[in-house]
């Protein structure tokens, strides 16, 4: 059996890599290691696109998983997602400490493959990498109103004005879509959700549509907008039409038959329940709400990253962070690389 190992060196410790190597050696498992963590494993490194493996083990946060899937593009080997020490992940089936148990399940084929639909965005006949969670279109400058026309199967649905629009899969329905007022969709439902972000037209509510349908976002203004793929890939667009369809390449996740690892749906539901507190922050100043939303979608960020992503003035950002800290909605965490470097994250 040949497995690929992918991770982020910022999230993976030397002790964890030594542990994984020892388990693979004891079980006679051959490995291919992602080039960015090859030195941590003292191993040869490979591009993700070159990993022709039986299973792909992704170590770390959901951000690592999403970036890996985007790098795979139209390929999708069976994936095992495990969280590393100190990381948060809602798509994993266990921690690195459970690696040997899961590998033994793979050897005995005591597992099922869970298929999750992905979305494909096309701009000017160019296909962007498929998204597992969502595709978001919004103004590049925060605080600006975006206007667009929504079409489903070439039928005009509405002309909207607001902060943007989210097209979400069932997997992504408990992520950014939920915080914007979208519904929770069970993972086995072959549907997509279309969620306007802070629409100025009160009758425009989230729409559920079949994943077989073609969604188009067109007549976009102003020209300075961007499309986000799973919150990881950003591409500036002007007035181009964006066509969104279901990707023919689903993501394949391993779920073991051991009941201990049948927690994925529950973790997503628990996350969704936690996110109901988002609706209690409506009394916050607009700058604090913006920072809270960015941290909720992007994960932990440094002050400099928040400055860039929010576009807020330095003093306004300071006020927003102070307000969120005082309300106990976010926490400050020292960086692994330097205790003087601080990242901000939403309190669990």
Q: Rounded CA gap, 188 and 117, in Å?
A: 9
Question: 2-117+250-263 falls under which CATH superfamily?
Answer: Probable inorganic polyphosphate/atp-NAD kinase; domain 1 (3.40.50.10330)
338 by DSSP, 3-state: which? Answer: coil
In the prediction, which pLDDT does 149 show?
96
- The per-residue pLDDT for 163 is 93
Beta carbons of 58 and 83 less than 8 angstroms apart: no
Q: Which residues of the chain have pLDDT under 50?
A: 259-269, 271-276, 278-279, 336-339
CATH code: domain 282-346 is 1.10.10.10
62: annotated active-site residue: yes
Token pair of 267 as six digits: 């973790």
Per-residue model confidence (pLDDT) at position 250: 95
User: Where do you find CATH 1.10.10.10 in the chain?
Assistant: 282-346
**Dmax of the chain from CA atoms?**
61
C-alpha–C-alpha distance, residues 34 and 320, integer Å:
38
pLDDT at 257: 62
Instruction: Delimit the CATH 2.60.200.30 region(s) of the chain.
Output: 119-246
Domain(s) labelled CATH 3.40.50.10330 in the chain stretch across 2-117+250-263
User: What pLDDT shows up at residue 281?
Assistant: 65
pTM: 0.73
Q: What is the pLDDT of residue 348?
A: 62
Helices (H), 277-313: 286-298, 303-310
pLDDT by residue (tens digit) across 147-167? 999 999 999 999 999 999 999
Retrieve residue 240's tokens. Answer: 């181009």
Measured distance CA(83)–CA(96) in Å, rounded: 6
* Residue of 8, 62, 134, 163 marked catalytic: 62
Give the right CATH number for 119-246 from 3.40.980.10, 3.40.50.2300, 3.30.460.80, 2.60.200.30.
2.60.200.30
């Amino acid at each position: 059996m040949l497995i690929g190992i992918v991770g982020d060196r910022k999230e993976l410790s030397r002790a964890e890599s030594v542990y994984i190597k020892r388990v693979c050696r004891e079980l006679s498992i051959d490995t291919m290691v992602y080039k960015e963590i090859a030195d941590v494993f003292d191993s040869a490194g490979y591009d993700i696109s070159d990993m022709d493996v039986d299973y792909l083990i992704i170590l770390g946060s959901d951000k690592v998983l999403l970036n890996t899937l985007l790098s795979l593009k139209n390929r999708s080997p069976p994936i095992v997602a495990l969280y590393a020490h100190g990381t948060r992940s809602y798509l994993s089936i266990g921690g690195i400490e459970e690696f040997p148990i899961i590998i033994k399940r793979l050897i005995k084929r005591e597992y099922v493959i869970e298929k999750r639909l992905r979305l494909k965005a096309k701009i000017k006949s160019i296909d962007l990498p498929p998204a597992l969670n969502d595709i978001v279109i919004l103004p590049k400058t925060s605080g600006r109103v975006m206007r667009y026309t929504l079409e489903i199967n070439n039928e005009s649905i509405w002309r909207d004005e607001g902060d943007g629009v989210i097209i979400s899969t069932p997997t992504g329905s408990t992520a950014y879509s939920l915080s914007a007022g979208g519904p929770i969709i069970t993972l086995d439902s072959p549907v997509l959700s279309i969620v306007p972000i802070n629409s100025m037209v009160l009758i425009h509510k989230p729409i559920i549509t079949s994943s077989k349908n073609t969604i188009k976002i067109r007549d976009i203004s102003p020209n300075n907008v961007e499309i986000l793929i799973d919150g990881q890939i950003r591409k500036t667009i002007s007035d181009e039409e964006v066509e969104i369809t279901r990707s023919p390449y689903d993501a394949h996740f391993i779920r073991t038959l051991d009941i201990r690892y049948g927690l994925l749906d529950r973790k997503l539901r628990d996350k969704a329940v936690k996110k109901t507190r988002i609706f209690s922050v409506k009394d916050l100043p607009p700058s604090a709400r913006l920072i809270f939303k960015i941290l909720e979608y992007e994960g932990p960020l440094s002050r400099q990253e928040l400055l860039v992503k929010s576009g807020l003035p330095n003093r306004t950002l300071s006020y927003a962070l102070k307000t969120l800290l005082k309300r106990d909605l976010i926490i400050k965490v020292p960086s692994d690389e330097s205790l003087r470097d601080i990242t901000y994250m939403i309190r669990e």
